[in-house]
Amino acid sequence: MIKDLGKVLTGDCLDHLADLPDESVDMVYMDPPFNTGRVQSGTDPDHAYADDFGTTGQYIEFLKPRIIQVHRVLKPTGSIMLHCDWRNSHHVRLLLDRVFGEDNFINHVIWSYGLGGSSPRRFARKHDDILFYGRTDQYWFDPPRIPATSRRMQGRTKKATDVLDIPSLNNMASERTGYPTQKPLQLLRMLVQSAAPPGGIVLDPFCGSGTTLVAAIETGRRWMGFDISPDAVTMSITRCNEAGDVAANSRGQVVTGI
């Protein structure tokens, strides 16, 4: 039994993961630093942090023990979705192959977000990578559906592909917190609903502004989050409390994550 469901804990996720029982979590969404080599500041300098691990080897050595712990705490029907980008996706996939096994690779999901700059020397980089692995080949999955775009299927839905065309948050978005690297709630709702069963346990070891946790609350999953930044934890708690109030208004009960 997990004692800290419905909580956001401050500290290194490696320490908190070690406290979790074996095979106790249904889904892990993991959005670690990307090793960009620069300060991530978002729209609020108070939330800035240095995203620099030095060499690629040092970055992978940082991720390795945390991914091993994630593998341990996932149920046999559980899965991980690890969010990364072009800098290290190939290195991270090799690490996941070693820990989870090549046969448990499910998808290399592309999040196509559209915003951002362009370059005269290369194709514009307009996507992130989400590497999806099962704990075993018995992983739980509910294919997400999106509006169909063809005239023949007008007004109907179809199964989503491995390319998710979801806009990133612009500076005027109502859900924007100012936290760097914040992901849109639309994206996390889709991922949580597809990989965690209703009532299942969703864990975000690098929860940042808490979007994964809010998505879990709004879709009827249980949850917990970790972050090394006290500022991020405070923001996540505030958002989870607000999401609980919204859930109370819509369903007649406060969703606490427990």
pLDDT in tens, 106-156: 999 999 998 777 889 999 999 999 999 999 999 999 999 998 888 888 889
Instruction: Give the single-character DSSP code of 222.
Output: E
Q: Residue 139 and residue 59: Cα distance in Å, rounded?
A: 28
Residue 38 above 90 pLDDT? no
pLDDT at 20: 97
pLDDT at 154: 82
Residue-range domains of the chain with CATH = 8-108+128-139+175-251 (3.40.50.150)
What is the percent of the chain with per-residue pLDDT over 90, rounded to a whole number?
71
Q: Residue 102 and residue 177: Cα distance in Å, rounded?
A: 37
Work out the mean pLDDT of the chain and round it to a whole number: 89
- Least confident piece of the model among 44-53, 76-85, 117-126: 44-53
Confidence of residue 1 (pLDDT cuts 50, 70, 90): confident
Residue 255 above 80 pLDDT? no
What is the percent of the chain with per-residue pLDDT over 70, rounded to a whole number?
88
pLDDT (mean) for 83-106 = 96
Calculated CA dihedral for residues 221, 224, 226, 230, nearest 10 degrees? 100
Question: In the structure encoding, which two tokens stand for residue 125, read together?
Answer: 């980089």
Residue 39 above 70 pLDDT? no
- pTM of the entire structure? 0.90
Of 48 and 9, the structure prediction assigns the larger pLDDT to 9
Residue 258 above 50 pLDDT? no
Of 49 and 58, the structure prediction assigns the larger pLDDT to 58
Instruction: Give the single-character DSSP code of 89.
Output: H
What confidence tens digit (pLDDT) does each residue in 155-194 have?
899 999 999 999 998 888 889 888 888 999 999 999 999 9
DSSP string, 13-66: HHHHHHTSPTT-EEEEEE------SEEE-TT-GGG-EEE--SSHHHHHHHHHHH
Comparing CA positions, the residue from 203, 220, 160, 213 lying closest to residue 182 is 213
- Residue 113 backbone dihedrals phi, psi, to 5 degrees: -110, -15
Beta bridge partners of 204: 225
pLDDT (mean) for 34-60 = 69
Question: What's the maximum distance between 2 C-alpha atoms anywhere in the chain?
Answer: 55
